[in-house]
């Protein structure tokens, strides 16, 4: 089922809770992404607090370390009862398998686990010049996605522009979680491989991750509803 995930990139518990208070009267409780900034500032307690308010949570810590460290860290994170978390696919298949093992609780349940392919701020040119990866970005992303699938993960984080390629490489059920979302009439900030919520829908994204277009909007609830209308219901707001 498609949903809009709001990237709550705030640096304190107060800021994020004040922000979420704006949605108190809304019918739909936003799926919340807690990333490094907020987690390092406010710790596991903010995860429990937001979960306690009834939001689903994507804990976006993008783990990338040796397999043993990732396994043990995921074991700790699995006790936080989040709905989704992630690793970098660049950490190798062995690391992704270790992550899955660590995340799986004794009763067999676990949050969804997805892998970052290439950050949506990375262009093909930067990949080639900074990372010395010469292959076309689409090929790299499909390959990383196939690695994630073979490790048993549920999907990948990628640009909506790559979602259909990921699906053809890994199957329709393999999830594409896509940041790099901007409204048709807005600035791109530091994102490079971007598209609108409506286009992300037609391109096959399962979840869109939207930060500044909602958090920095004059009316965040209206911006969130615009994303929901475009992405979930396919309505063109423009």
Least CB distance to ligand C5P at residue 211 (A): 2
Stretch that binds ligand C5P, among 40-48, 130-138, 177-185, 227-235 (CB under 6 A): 177-185
Q: Considering 62, 75, 97, 199, which one is annotated as catalytic?
A: 62
User: Of 209, 223, 227, 228, which one interacts with ligand C5P (CB under 6 A)?
Assistant: 209
Least CB distance to ligand C5P at residue 15 (A): 14
User: Does residue 179 touch ligand C5P according to CB under 6 A?
Assistant: yes
Per-position x/- string for 35-54, each x denoting binding to ligand C5P as judged by CB under 6 A, each - no binding: x-------------------
- Listing DSSP states for 3-69 in one string gives EEEEE---SSHHHHHHHHHTTTT-SSPPEEEEEHHHHHHHHHHHHHHHHHTT--EEEEEEE-S-HHH
Phi-psi region of 26 (alpha: psi -120 to 50; beta: other; left: phi over 0): beta
In the complex with ligand C5P, which residue's Cβ is closer, 27 or 190? Answer: 190
- Alpha helices by DSSP H, listed for 53-136, are 67-78, 93-103, 124-131
Stretch that binds ligand C5P, among 23-31, 113-121, 166-174, 218-226 (CB under 6 A): 113-121
62 among known catalytic residues: yes
- Kindly tell me the burial class for residue 214, based on how many C-beta atoms sit within 10 Å of its own C-beta (0-12, 13-18, 19 or more): buried
Measured distance CA(180)–CA(45) in Å, rounded: 28
Compute how many residues bind ligand C5P; rule: CB under 6 A: 17
Residue 226, CA atoms < 13 Å, CB-side half-sphere? 17
When computed from its CA atoms, the radius of gyration of the chain, rounded to whole angstroms, is 17
User: Does residue 102 touch ligand C5P according to CB under 6 A?
Assistant: no
User: Does residue 119 touch ligand C5P according to CB under 6 A?
Assistant: yes
Binding site for ligand C5P (CB under 6 A): 7, 9, 35, 116, 119-120, 157, 179-181, 189, 191, 209-213
């Amino acid at each position: 089922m498609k949903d809009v995930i709001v990237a709550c990139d705030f640096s304190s518990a107060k800021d994020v809770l004040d922000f979420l208070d704006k949605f108190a009267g809304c019918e739909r409780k936003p799926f919340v992404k807690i990333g490094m900034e907020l987690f390092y500032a406010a710790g596991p307690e903010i995860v429990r607090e937001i979960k306690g308010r009834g939001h689903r949570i994507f804990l976006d810590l993008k783990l990338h370390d040796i397999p043993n460290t990732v396994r043990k860290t995921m074991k700790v994170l699995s006790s936080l009862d989040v709905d989704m978390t992630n690793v970098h696919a660049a950490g190798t298949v062995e690391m992704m398998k270790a992550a899955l093992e660590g995340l799986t609780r004794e009763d067999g349940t676990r949050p969804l686990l997805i892998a970052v392919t290439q950050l949506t701020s990375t262009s093909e040119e930067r990949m080639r010049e900074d990372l010395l990866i010469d292959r076309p970005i689409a090929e790299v992303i499909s390959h990383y996605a196939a690695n994630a699938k073979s490790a048993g993960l549920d999907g990948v984080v990628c640009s909506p522009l790559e979602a259909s390629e990921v699906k053809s490489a890994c199957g329709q059920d393999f999830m594409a979680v896509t940041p790099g979302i901007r409204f048709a009439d807005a600035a791109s900030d530091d994102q490079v491989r971007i598209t609108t919520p409506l286009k992300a829908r037609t391109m096959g994204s399962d979840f869109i991750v939207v930060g500044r277009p909602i958090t920095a909007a004059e009316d965040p609830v209206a911006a969130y509803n615009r994303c929901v209308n475009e992405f979930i219901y396919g309505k063109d707001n423009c």
